[in-house]
Amino acid sequence: MKIEEERKVVELMIKLYCKKKHKNKELCNDCNELLEYVNLRLSKCPFGDQKTFCSNCKIHCYKPIMREKIKEVMRFSGPRMLFYHPIIAIKHLKETIKEKRKNGKK
């Protein structure tokens, strides 16, 4: 999984979350802050393009408050991604399953 791809997925999820939950057309300050934080974490990820999804990662480099926020976004937008961005969602799902299998073998 490329960092760029995960960045795109996360951005879509945060935008979807903000649009539906906060009723904003553009990202509100809170969500924008979250997106910037995620981008920062991704750009510092020690795994580079070998990384798994943050949700599968063992390191958990997010600080607790941001971790809670992103979890909430994932919970909300995860199932909805299938509806709004089906191709990306299915791809993401496949990658997640593949990674889980890979990790399970170790």
**Residue ranges binding Zn ion (CB under 5 A):** 18, 22, 28, 31
CA count, 13 A, side-chain hemisphere, 82: 7
Burial, 86: exposed, middle or buried (Cβ in 10 Å; 0-12, 13-18, 19+)?
Answer: exposed
Smallest separation (angstroms) from Zn ion to the CB of 55: 20
CB atoms < 10 A from the CB of 69, how many?
19
Smallest separation (angstroms) from Zn ion to the CB of 100: 30
Smallest separation (angstroms) from Zn ion to the CB of 81: 17
Cα separation values, 103 from 16, 71, 72, 89, 98, Å:
30, 21, 24, 21, 9
In the bound state with Zn ion, the residue whose beta carbon lies nearer, of 18 and 70, is 18
In the bound state with Zn ion, the residue whose beta carbon lies nearer, of 17 and 45, is 17
In the bound state with Zn ion, the residue whose beta carbon lies nearer, of 28 and 88, is 28
Smallest separation (angstroms) from Zn ion to the CB of 14: 8
Longest dimension (CA), the chain: 44
In the bound state with Zn ion, the residue whose beta carbon lies nearer, of 23 and 106, is 23
